[in-house]
Each structure stands twice: as C-alpha cells, then as structure tokens.
A and B are shown apart, each in its own frame.
Chain A
C-alpha cells in the first residue's frame, strides 16, 4: 500500500476526530464564537476532504489492490482482541470521499442557515460527531470500527432531531427515533459479537471479499439477518419506516445530510459491503428483495400525501433507497454505488433548496393574491383506501404503538408488584 494513501486515509479519519475534540471543549468552555467555530469546522472538514480525495485519486491512479490498514488492537483481553482496522478499496474510499464532500457542503450551508441560532455550537459539535461516524462506517475494516461509527451516527442523529429542544415535539420525536436506532445498534452489536464468536476475529475483509470459509451457511444466515435488521432500522426500510417523518423536526441542513444524503444511504452502503455474505443465503436475498420492493412502493405512496415538503422529499428518498436495496440483492455492485452517489447529491440539493422554493412559492402566491394548488384528479375506484393507507403510513405506527402499549402494561404490573414487596403505597396516593 502506498504510504501516501495510508497517510491520506489517516488524515481523513483524524481531522474530524480532532475537530470533534476541539469543538467539544470549546462548547463546554463557552469560549468560541460563531466565526471561530466556522473557521475551525471549515479547516477541519477541508483537511479531511483533502485526505479522502488524495487517497481516492492515488488509489485509482496507482492501480492499487484492496487492503486492510491495521493499527493494532484497541484493547484486548484473554480471548478477544478489538482491532482498529480500516479497509482500503475503491468502494470505501469513494463513499468516504462522497460523505466528507457532502458534509463540507452542508457545513457551509449551515453557517448561514443557523446564524445567531441558540444551539449553534451544539449543532456543529453533533454534526462533527456524525462526520466521524460516517467516516468510520465508510472505512471500517473491523466490526469494532463499524460499530463505533454506527453508534455515532445514531446518537448524533437523535440529538439533532431534538435540536430545537425548547419545544416538546422535537424532543419527544427524537426519543422515538432513538428507540428505533437502539434496535439497529443492538442488531449490529449482536452481529459483531457473533462474528467474533464464530470467526475468532472482528476482521471484515472476508465478508467484503466473499471469503466466508470460516462461517457456515447457518452462521452466515444469522449474521446476515442481523445486519439486515440493523440496516433496515437505520435506513428506515419497511417495516421500520415510521420514524422518518418524525425525524424531520431537526434543522433542514441536518435533515438533508441524514435523511436525504448520507445516513439513510449508509445502510445501503453496508449492504453493498457485505453483499457476498447476503447473497450466499437465499433467505437473506429474498428478504432483501421483499423489503426493498415494499419500501419502494410504500415510500412512493406515502410521499405523495405528505403536507410538508421535507417529509415528502424524505419519503421520495425512501422509495429510491428501496430500489437500491433491490439492486444490491440482484448482485449488482457498480449500479447501486452510482445510484447512491447520484441520489445522495440530488436529494441534498432538494433538501437544501426546499426552504427557498417554499419562500419563492409564498412570494408568488402573495403577488398573485391566490393560493396555487396542484391540479385535482378525478376519483377512481380504490383511490380513497389507498390514500388512507398512505396518509396513515401503512398503519405501521399504530401496530407499533399497540405492541409497545402491551409491553408497557406488562412492565407496569411488574412495577406494582415491586411496590407491593416494600409496602409502598405512594403510587396509589399519587393517583388519588
């Protein structure tokens, strides 16, 4: 491996981490003003972008072969070693460069969009946490690095959904989003532990390259299914799509980068990485096809009845994500990556320009003196029920709420029993 590629990859990873540390300390010390945060973020992200692009270009120009950079064990115990490995190949470097480029664009947009906003410092800290996370997901060569990145994505996403924390709705929705993300994290952690358990190491290279001799067919299926659940909940694939409109409570730039461009595609990228593992099992492949097709139809339907522009765009994104999943399950490699790249850039543009489009529309309506409506279509058989289905987002939220309600009832009974054990009647008193 060329030393230039190694150094450039290291720079691409280290710059956001350093930026995260500096912004974190500065935010707590309450020292940096907007201009300082802007300068630091620009510098940090541009250095990271330079590193990622240099690595990508050098890798392709020099015609190098995929390799894993090993930085040794992060920590180790008697039987397990948790290694810090980065995978270097066209796919990982391409997605890393795309991610950091998009983050640069969004950061530049956010400086103006969030000017004088109360949570300015907080926003850029959480945004940088996301950059670190997505870089780790893109370059992960070991399951530990992947899990770290995955967790960073989830936490930063939930915190940014609740960015306008003085209002009740964003905070409540952030918790709901995080609940689904915890499911995703738990599935990812289970997959990581099983991988460790069955292969004896957390190295992802065999999974990426199809060398699965250490993993039997049943083991491969279990790991594959866990990864599918993890990806489905993080990328809002059906039946985990209910959180998507709730996540729109965050500021527009964060919605753009998470639910338009990167986070929602991170799952697709991961599926693409572990494609050999998934395609080795018919059950996993069929599940992916079904999930992708349903998600595509569901996203297209639900997107058509949304009343706010961000939700409409996010559902349109979801429809495309479903199609990308189908492409991956068909064994394609280049087309899904191209689809991810083009679609991420397009949705980013749509999200970021949405406030301007709305502003222009309102301006136009003011000048015309009347509201501009979309042309109405005539009633058709079945259209009402379809409309209701789309409006209720496939009734998935209702089903989920019923399940959670049943669990809550059960846990409530256990709580009552616990209070009885210590003769605590305070709850009864509270009610009366």
Chain B
C-alpha cells in the first residue's frame, strides 16, 4: 500500500499533467497546472529521497530504492520545474507541456528500477518522446539523423540485455552491446555527432530534457559497472576522458550558441561517464555529484539561451549582443551555471570536479589530467558565451525584461547550485554512500569480473 502512495506522489503529478495537456486547449492554464504539479513532484521526490525506507519501494528488481536512486530521483522533477517555469511564452505549446510531464514520469521511474527490461522500455519511451518533441516542419534531416542514432542505441541495448542473460562468452558480447548502446546514447566519441546536430537544428527544450538526466549513465551504472571487468571499464573511461576534451575543444571553436551547447553537453556527459568507469571511490562519488550538478547547471545554461533566443532570435557568438543592464539576474545566473559546469569553487560543480579529478588521476595517473584540460577549456567557453550573450553595446530594439517566473526559476536554480556547493558535506556524504553501494555491487559480482582496487602511485 505504502509503495503505491510513494509512487503516486512521484509519478502522479507528471502523469496528470500529461493527461491535462491532452484535454485542456489553453496552454497558459496548462502551464500553471504543470508548475503546480512540478512543485508537488519535487516535494514528493525530496520526501522519497530523505524519508522513505528502501523496503517501502521494493518490488523485486522492477522497483528498487538504492542510494543512487535517492539522489537521482530528485533530478527529473527539478529539471521539469525549471523547464515549465522558464519556457518563454513564444515557445509555449500545450503538447510540449504534456510531453515534459510524460518525460519526467519516465525519468523518475527509470531511476527507481533495476530491471533491464523496464530500463529498455524507459529508454525507448524517452527516445520516442524526444523524437516527437524535436519534430518541426523544417528539420526532417535532423530528425532522421537523431532517430537513426536512437534506434541504433535501442537495438544495441535490447540485444545486449538478451545476450547478457546467456552464460559465458555470449554474456560478454551482451555487455559490450550494452556499452555500445550507452556510448551512442551519451554521445561518446565517435558516436557524438547527433548531439550537436539535435541542439543546432532541433529544439533545445526537448533535447535538454532528454539529455540532462542522463539515462544512459544510469544504465551504465546498473548494467555495466557491476558486471564489467576492470579492463573493460578502463577502455570506456579512457574513451570518455578523450571525448570530454574533444567536446570542450569543439565547444570553444563554435560560432553559434546552439552548437556550443551541444558540444558542452558532450563534454560534461563524458566526464560523468569517465568518473563512473574509473571505479575508485572518489571518482565514483565525484561522478555522481557531477551528474546532478552538470544536469542542473547545463539545464540552466540551455534555458538561458532559449530565453534569449525567444527575445532576439538565433544567437551567434561572433558578436556581442549586450543586455546585461536589462537582465542582470539572467546574466549573473548564466555565469553561475557556467561556472558550476567548470567546477568553480562555491558551486556544486566544484565538489564533483574535485572528487572526480582526484579519483581519475588515481586511476589514470597520466590520462586523468585530461579532466583538468576539459575543465579549463569549458571555463573559457563559458566566459566567451557570457561575454558574447550579455556584454557589448545594447541594441536599439525593444527593452526586454525578465519575467517574474523566469527570474524565480533562474535565481532559484543558481541559489541551489551555490547553497549545495558551500554546504557541501551532505551532498558529498550521500554520493559517497551511493558510490560505496555501487562498488559493493561490483565486489558481489560473479567471478571473472573482479572488483578493481584503486591504485596508488606511492
């Protein structure tokens, strides 16, 4: 009974919103319903994370409350709240609001399950919602490209899950197929090209809502990390580290805000996966913190760009657009989101980056420093974007102002990133518990996939 109550608190509000959007034709009213539902869902998630006993949310492997789930379950409702609050009126659309609710429900459920079959279902559902979300009349090529990557990743995942049920060598093949699915979904080099494409020619809102919670990382944590051998994880980690630098370098090169966002996400997402696959306690804990901080911070950056685009049209980074004096809160929040992505002290990102870098260098004494290179390049990209989007001579156009709900969304998100970065112990403790649980899962794995003991050089 209590399981149903908790599940209703978590999944009820987004599903009600999705249904409401089907019935009500007034998009403004639907937005109000969505905001109320998102607040309720956030409160439910916080209660589940801090109050619920693991036994109350346990139905075999279909529903399982782990320490990792406790942290992650707060992510989709939080991102949903920011999304529905900050979406500009010009971009508001009833169907879109419904899809955000459905995506949130899928995300929450995915983070609560450990069943490979249910994970594959969530994977497929989120991809379908995303592909529907980015559909516009003039981006058929983009949809085709993105769909091909998503279909490929789904096929790899399904065949991997099936193969992993078999013993011996087939199981190893299955594991590699799942890894392939994760690499494609997360945009790890050389499967990354669809992400900048989706940001560039698709729609930012759905792309962020699909990408930011990083379902691919969760699948890696549940299906790959406990089963894979240290050598396999090292390959994935090295690939991820290289992708992090690659994404950061390409982000700095771009002259368009949307493509920059795409590569920035590639880099951030790769850093999280790298930490997850280093299998040292610190790197894992860092990756988990970074997972949350980069999701929040990156959503903040992307929503800021979306708000600016709604007012000014497509944004080039080769000019200076001005506007700091009109929207100082938006500018300051943007800078803060960006700094959180670079691990600036005083933000949540700092904790994630510090732990991740420390653990990565411990696991890979040379290649671990790529995390620092990626961070340095991301810092430059962020400041370049900030200068371009908010500095320069104010244009002579209409004097846009930030709406109250947007100010609350951006200001609140920035405050959360700073508060959790300054009072860092609770987050670090929670992520440490989650990483310890993951490592225990590795230790308990069948023979042949022995747990990796962190190496120390001294």
Chain A residues proximal to chain B, CB less than 8 Å = 24, 27-28, 30, 73-80, 82, 118, 144, 147-148, 151-152, 155, 158, 162, 165-168, 171-172, 174-175, 178-179, 182-183, 185-186, 189-190, 193-194, 196-198, 200, 408, 411-412, 414-415, 418-419, 421-424, 426
Cβ of B325 < 8 Å from any Cβ of A? yes
B282 touches A78 (CB 8 A): yes
Can you list the 8 inter-chain pairs with the closest CB atoms, starting with the nearest? A78-B281, A165-B391, A75-B428, A75-B424, A421-B193, A148-B345, A77-B285, A186-B376
Query: Which residues on the B side are within 8 Å of A197 (C-beta)?
Result: 358, 361-362, 365, 456-458
Nearest Cβ distance between residue B455 and chain A, in whole angstroms? Answer: 11
Contact check, A186 vs B361: say whether CB atoms are below 8 A apart.
no
B412 / chain A contacts, CB cutoff of 8 Å: none
**Residue pair A82, B354 in contact (C-beta under 8 Å):** yes
Is B369 at the interface (CB under 8 A from chain A)?
yes
Residue B196 lies at the interface, judged by CB distance under 8 Å to chain A: yes
B residues adjacent to A (C-beta < 8 A): 141-142, 145, 190, 192-194, 196-197, 200-201, 246, 249-250, 252-254, 280-282, 285-286, 320, 322, 324-325, 328-329, 332, 339, 344-346, 351, 354-355, 357-359, 361-362, 365, 368-369, 372-373, 375-377, 379-380, 383-384, 387, 390-394, 411, 424-425, 427-428, 431-432, 435-436, 454, 456-458
Interface of B is mostly: helix
Chain A residues with Cβ below 8 Å from B285 are: 77-78
Contact of A118 among B201, B325, B383 (CB under 8 A): B325
Shortest distance from the beta carbon of A406 to any chain B beta carbon, whole Å: 13
A-B contact pairs, 18 of them (CB 8 A): A75-B424, A77-B282, A79-B282, A80-B359, A148-B345, A152-B345, A165-B392, A166-B394, A171-B320, A175-B383, A179-B380, A182-B379, A193-B357, A193-B361, A197-B365, A197-B457, A422-B194, A426-B200
Contacts of B320 in A (CB 8 A): 168, 171
**Which listed residue, B368, B377, B380, B431, touches A77 by the CB 8 Å rule?**
B431
Cα distance A171–B379 when bound, in Å? Answer: 15
If A75-B428, A165-B324, A421-B193 touch, whether A28 touches B329 (CB-CB below 8 Å) is: yes
Contact between B332 and A28 (Cβ–Cβ < 8 Å)? yes
**Across-interface contacts of A193 in B (CB, < 8 A):** 357-358, 361, 368, 372
Q: In the complex, A75 Cα to B250 Cα: how many Å?
A: 33
Chain A at the B interface: mostly helix, strand, loop or mixed? helix
Minimal Cβ-Cβ distance residue in B for A158: B383
Contact between chains at B250 and A80 (CB < 8 Å): no
**Contact yes or no, A77 B435, CB < 8 A:** yes
Q: B280–A79 contact, CB under 8 A?
A: yes
Using CB atoms, name the residue of chain B closest to A154: B379
Q: What's the nearest-Cβ distance from chain B to residue A206, in Å? A: 14
Q: Write the nearest CB–CB distance from A6 to chain B, whole angstroms.
A: 22
Residues of A contacting B346 with CB < 8 Å?
148
Chain B residues within an 8 Å CB radius of A198 = 457-458
Q: How far is the CB of B32 from chain A (nearest CB, A)?
A: 26
A415 and B281 within 8 A (CB):
no
Q: Cβ of A79: which chain B residues have Cβ within 8 Å of it?
A: 280-282, 358-359, 362, 454
Cα-based distance from A76 to B372 in the complex (angstroms)? 20
Across the interface, do A30 and B253 meet the contact criterion of CB distance under 8 Å? no
Write out the residue numbers on chain A whose beta carbons fall within 8 Å of the beta carbon of B392: 165-166, 168, 171
Task: A78-B282, A165-B387 given; name 14 further pairs at CB < 8 Å.
Answer: A28-B411, A82-B354, A158-B383, A166-B322, A166-B392, A166-B394, A168-B392, A171-B392, A190-B372, A197-B458, A414-B246, A422-B194, A424-B201, A426-B201
CB-CB < 8 A to B252: which residues of A? 411
- Assembly CA distance A182 to B200 (angstroms): 28
User: Are B361 and A423 neighbours in the complex by a CB distance under 8 Å?
Assistant: no
Whether A411 contacts B383 in the complex (CB less than 8 A), given A76-B428, A165-B392, A166-B391, comes out as no
A122 to chain B, nearest CB (A): 8
Whether A30 contacts B328 in the complex (CB less than 8 A), given A189-B357, A411-B250, comes out as: yes
Q: In the complex, which of the residues A28, A412, A418, A419 contacts B328, with contact meaning CB atoms closer than 8 Å?
A: A28
Question: Chain B: which residue is nearest A76 at the CB level?
Answer: B428
Which chain B residues border A411 with CB–CB below 8 Å? 249-250, 252-253
Task: Enumerate chain B residues within 8 angstroms of A196, measured Cβ to Cβ.
Answer: 358
Residues in A with CB closer than 8 Å to B145 are 422-423
A77 close to B432 (CB less than 8 A): yes
Which of B193, B281, B392, B435 neighbours the largest number of chain A CB atoms within 10 Å of its CB? B193
Judge whether B141 and A80 touch: CB under 8 Å.
Answer: no
Give the Cβ gap from A26 to chain B, nearest Cβ, in Å. 12
Q: A77-B286, A151-B344, A418-B250 known; A183 and B376 CB under 8 Å? A: yes
A35 → chain B closest CB, angstroms = 20
